[in-house]
């Protein structure tokens, strides 16, 4: 919400117009990210200083093509423009960001907003791309034909025209210039009036003509629900109004764009000159979208991404490891007089949280490269490539964005399914999103690869294993979606229409800022939960402390030195603790997977949040093996871990089959508790969330068991 007396300016525009780049250029780092009241749609706002020194609140609204709102994102835009968002008034100025290479289509949204009577500024972005294609635009002439609405030609990516935008917004606030409206055919004008009267009669509130137009033209009930016009009350008057329009030879849904485009073509006559030339984008797409080379390039890019994550993260991971070492040593020496507090701080807090923070560089690098791929324009191509695969299982490329988001975190992936119109396809996509290996699973993959695969097989196979875990999730998600769409939900296939943005060099500041935002959100969410669970795991691992255990171990170890005896004492304490007893009681369930009781404890403790397993292992192996819970010491402790009972006694626990089984289990098991709750919210029923949890957990156990049992026999 803007400060008292501060003007409110909103940015709207079609997707891929560079709206967010302009927002970043105008606000810098003075941004706030939250949610709109009552919905989970992100609200980005910031402070923008105009050319006259005035400071305004700038809001970056979600991208959309039309005010005919269907998805939650589009509904938020309409509500924001109408001033129907809680604690927010009608915008003082609307900045419509247009793509200079497709000005006619982009101005259609501006023409719709014009019906609302809001002051406007037209920001014609991507002028660099227009010039490359041989397109010229006469800004002053366009402003003249738009009744003096300020028009700015700019390239936000290059930082050109930003000052002019600040000046134009200041002018727009003073002049309040509005985009010219169209003259509607008599049949449409009468139908709009009929709808407005009926809506006012039933809702007992004034209904402006702009809202009545939306009621007449739109098939979605967004506006009707917003004004409280029930389906029963509106059915007859809207049907009669549409029949009135059809009797004149017009089709209501098609009439709106037909009238607007006719007027816009008149306005743009002589404004846009030149013939669009073929660009390098077409030549590059001939390879990247090729039926054969496209998927191969996609696989190579993903493999290179994960190889980079390992190669570039080694040095910063070593720095963090040293910091954890120093912090733990300081805490242990400072609290030496209070053994319980010493264990809590050094082994519990520093050891557990430090084990997670060690992998932060890899998470940062992952977000960095994903941001580069998004801003370069490649991710839209990836959606096009994956559409061929998804069409086989009853979905289409629209499911790619939610599934791709699931690789970072399942929750935004589940929320982004709201852009899928078909409710059955939306549910099928939501059910498969948790199969994507989110960043919370990344630390355990990284730990296993760095401790066991890299040292033996090299960095290349580390990358292959990482990519393999993501492929495993996708490989199981596809047949799952096939079963859901073909036999359970019976989804009807829908065509996939996608606008491919032009290729461009990502802007470093934007990529780094988004990487920092995503990583900060992940660490703040995961770190808080990890800290709480770390404390619980430490307590369950520390208590009870029976002195008789230490006396027995010391009596059984007369030939060992003091350090070795102390290590055995600590291991015995962990084994006799509440956590050790619980882990041993449940371990038989996971024994076919090759998990000992410590791994079993880690798996069970990670159900609230998957990333917790690293800190849990850090605690159990730190206390049980006498090693620090940071990257290298934890790896060493795990390499040295052996079975203490049964037919495998004194053999290594972490063989290659066990490592692969553990990674497979985490690749397929249900994600965190928040994911389950979000799935229940999006599916509208806990039944689907429970089914997902049981199905994924069972699959994870079955595949992990198969990998371990078969691997143990052939390796």
Looking at per-residue pLDDT, the higher value among 607 and 278 belongs to 607
Q: Which residues neighbour 673 within 8 Å (Cβ) at sequence distance 6 or greater?
A: 607, 608, 609
Is residue 273 included in any domain, yes or no? no
Is residue 448 included in any domain, yes or no? yes
The CB-side HSE value for 267 (13 A sphere, CA atoms) comes to 27
Q: Determine if the peptide bond prior to 544 is cis (ω within 30°).
A: yes
Cβ neighbours around 338 below 10 Å, total: 11
Would strands 120-125 and 151-153 be described as parallel, antiparallel, or unpaired? parallel
168 and 27 share a domain? yes
Structure tokens, 226 = 């917003």
Pick from 128, 145, 175: which residue ends a domain? 175
Helix locations, 647-685, DSSP H: 656-668, 673-683
Is residue 254 included in any domain, yes or no? no
Is residue 190 included in any domain, yes or no? no
Pick from 212, 227, 249: which residue ends a domain? 249
Point out which residues pair with 43 in neighbouring strands: 34
Q: What is the pLDDT of residue 613?
A: 83
377 and 239 share a domain? no
Domain that holds residue 138: 8-175
Pairwise CA distance, residues 435 & 473, whole Å: 5
Average pLDDT score over the chain:
85
For 12-69, write each residue's pLDDT tens digit: 999 889 898 899 899 986 555 544 344 445 678 899 999 999 999 999 998 889 998 8
Question: Which domain CATH number covers 133?
Answer: 3.40.50.300
568 and 446 share a domain? yes
442 and 522 share a domain? yes
For 133-160, write each residue's pLDDT tens digit: 889 999 999 999 999 999 999 999 889 9
Pairwise CA distance, residues 428 & 190, whole Å: 43
Q: Which residues neighbour 131 within 8 Å (Cβ) at sequence distance 6 or greater?
A: none
Is residue 263 included in any domain, yes or no? no
pLDDT band at 657 (very low <50, low <70, confident <90, very high): very high
Pairwise CA distance, residues 618 & 708, whole Å: 23
Q: What is the pLDDT of residue 37?
A: 41
Pairwise CA distance, residues 700 & 589, whole Å: 13
Pairwise CA distance, residues 151 & 168, whole Å: 7
Pairwise CA distance, residues 702 & 690, whole Å: 18
Distance of CA 331 to the CA centre of its chain: 37
The CB-side HSE value for 249 (13 A sphere, CA atoms) comes to 2
Is residue 505 included in any domain, yes or no? no
Pairwise CA distance, residues 509 & 504, whole Å: 14
Q: Would the pLDDT of 394 be above 50? A: yes
Structure tokens, 103 = 């000005």
102 and 225 share a domain? no
302 and 245 share a domain? no
Please choose, from the candidates 635, 671, 665, the residue with its C-alpha nearest in 3D space to the C-alpha of residue 317: 635
Average pLDDT of 331-355? 80
Range scoring the smallest mean pLDDT among 5-9, 83-87, 421-425: 421-425
218 and 164 share a domain? no
Please report the beta strands in 217-293, taking only residues with DSSP state E, as ranges in sequence order.
272-273
337 and 483 share a domain? yes
Average pLDDT of 658-678? 88
Angle ∠(299,700,702) on CA atoms, nearest 5: 115
Pick from 249, 284, 311: which residue ends a domain? 249
90 and 212 share a domain? no
Range scoring the smallest mean pLDDT among 270-274, 535-539, 630-634: 630-634
Is residue 270 included in any domain, yes or no? no
pLDDT band at 83 (very low <50, low <70, confident <90, very high): confident
313 and 453 share a domain? yes
| Main-chain dihedrals φ then ψ at residue 159, nearest 5 degrees | 80, 15
Is residue 499 included in any domain, yes or no? no
216 and 171 share a domain? no
Dihedral in degrees, nearest 10, Cα atoms 634, 635, 639, 645: 30
Pairwise CA distance, residues 532 & 535, whole Å: 5
Average pLDDT of 632-646? 82
Q: Would the pLDDT of 396 be above 60? A: yes
631 and 676 share a domain? yes
- Say how many domains are in the chain: 3
**Rg, Å, the chain Cα set:** 30
Please choose, from the candidates 256, 276, 302, 345, the residue with its C-alpha nearest in 3D space to the C-alpha of residue 67: 256
565-569 contact pairs (CB < 8 A, 24+): 566/626, 567/625, 567/626
């Amino acid at each position: 919400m803007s400060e008292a007396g501060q003007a409110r300016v909103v940015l709207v525009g079609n997707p891929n117009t560079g709206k967010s780049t302009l927002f970043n250029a105008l606000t810098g780092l003075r941004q706030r990210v939250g949610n709109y009241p009552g919905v989970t749609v992100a609200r980005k706002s910031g402070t923008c200083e105009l050319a006259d020194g005035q400071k305004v609140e700038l809001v970056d609204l979600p991208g959309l093509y039309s005010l005919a709102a269907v998805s939650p994102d589009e509904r938020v835009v309409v509500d924001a423009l109408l001033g129907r968002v809680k604690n927010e008034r009608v915008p003082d100025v609307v900045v419509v960001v247009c793509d200079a290479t497709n000005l006619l289509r982009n101005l259609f949204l501006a023409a719709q907003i014009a019906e609302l009577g809001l002051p406007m500024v037209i920001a014609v972005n991507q002028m660099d791309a227009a010039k490359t294609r041989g397109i010229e635009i006469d800004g002053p002439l366009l402003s003249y034909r738009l009744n003096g609405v300020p028009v700015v030609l700019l390239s936000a990516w290059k930082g050109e025209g930003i000052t002019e935008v600040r000046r134009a917004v200041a002018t727009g606030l003073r002049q309040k210039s509005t985009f010219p409206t169209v003259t509607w055919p008599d049949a449409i004008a009468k139908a709009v009036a009929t709808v407005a009267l009926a809506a006012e009669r039933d809702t007992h509130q004034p209904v402006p003509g702009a809202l009545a137009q939306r009621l007449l033209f739109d098939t979605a009930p967004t506006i009707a629900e917003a004004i409280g016009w029930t389906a029963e009350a509106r059915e007859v008057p809207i049907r009669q109004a549409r029949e009135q329009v059809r009797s004149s030879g017009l089709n209501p849904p098609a009439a709106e764009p037909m009238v607007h485009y006719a007027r816009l073509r008149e306005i743009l006559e002589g404004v846009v000159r030149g013939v669009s030339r073929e660009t390098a984008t077409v030549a590059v797409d001939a390879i990247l979208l090729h039926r054969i080379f496209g998927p191969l390039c996609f696989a190579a890019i993903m493999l290179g991404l994960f190889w980079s994550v390992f190669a570039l993260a080694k040095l910063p991971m070593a720095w963090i490891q040293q910091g954890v070492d120093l912090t733990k040593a300081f805490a242990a020496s400072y609290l030496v007089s209070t053994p319980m507090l010493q264990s809590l701080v050094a082994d519990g807090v520093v050891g557990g949280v430090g084990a997670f923070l060690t992998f932060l560089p890899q998470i940062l690098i992952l977000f960095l490269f994903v941001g580069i791929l998004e801003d370069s324009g490649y991710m839209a191509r990836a959606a096009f490539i994956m559409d061929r695969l998804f069409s086989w299982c009853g979905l289409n490329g629209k499911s790619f964005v939610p599934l791709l988001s699931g690789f970072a975190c399942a929750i935004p992936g589940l929320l982004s399914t709201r852009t899928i119109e078909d409710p059955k396809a939306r549910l099928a996509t939501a059910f498969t999103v948790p199969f994507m290996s989110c960043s919370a699973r990344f630390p355990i993959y990284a730990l296993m690869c760095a401790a066991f695969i890299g040292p033996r097989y090299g960095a290349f196979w580390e990358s292959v294993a990482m990519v393999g875990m993501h492929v495993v999730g996708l490989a199981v998600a596809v047949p799952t979606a096939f079963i859901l769409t073909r036999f359970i939900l019976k989804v009807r296939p829908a065509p996939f229409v996608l606008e491919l943005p032009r290729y461009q060099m990502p802007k470093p500041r934007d990529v780094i800022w988004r990487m920092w935002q995503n990583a900060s959100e992940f660490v703040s969410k995961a770190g808080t939960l990890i800290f709480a669970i770390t404390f619980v795991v430490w307590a369950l691992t520390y208590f009870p402390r029976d002195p008789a255990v230490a006396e027995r171990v010391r009596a059984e170890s007369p030939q060992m030195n003091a350090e070795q005896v102390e290590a055995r004492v600590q291991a015995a304490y962990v084994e006799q603790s509440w956590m050790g007893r619980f882990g041993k009681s449940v371990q038989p369930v996971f024994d076919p997977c090759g998990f000992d009781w410590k791994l079993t404890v880690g798996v069970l403790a990670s159900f609230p949040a998957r990333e917790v397993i690293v800190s849990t292992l850090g605690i159990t192996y730190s206390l049980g093996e006498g090693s620090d819970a940071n990257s290298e010491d934890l790896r060493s402790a795990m390499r040295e871990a052996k079975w203490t009972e049964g037919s495998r006694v004194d053999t290594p626990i972490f063989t290659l089959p066990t490592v692969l089984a553990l990674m497979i289990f985490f690749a397929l098991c249900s994600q965190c508790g928040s994911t389950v709750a979000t799935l229940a919210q999006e599916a509208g029923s806990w039944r689907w969330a429970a089914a997902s949890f049981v199905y994924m957990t069972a699959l994870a156990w079955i595949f992990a068991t198969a990998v371990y049992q078969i691997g143990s026999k052939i390796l």
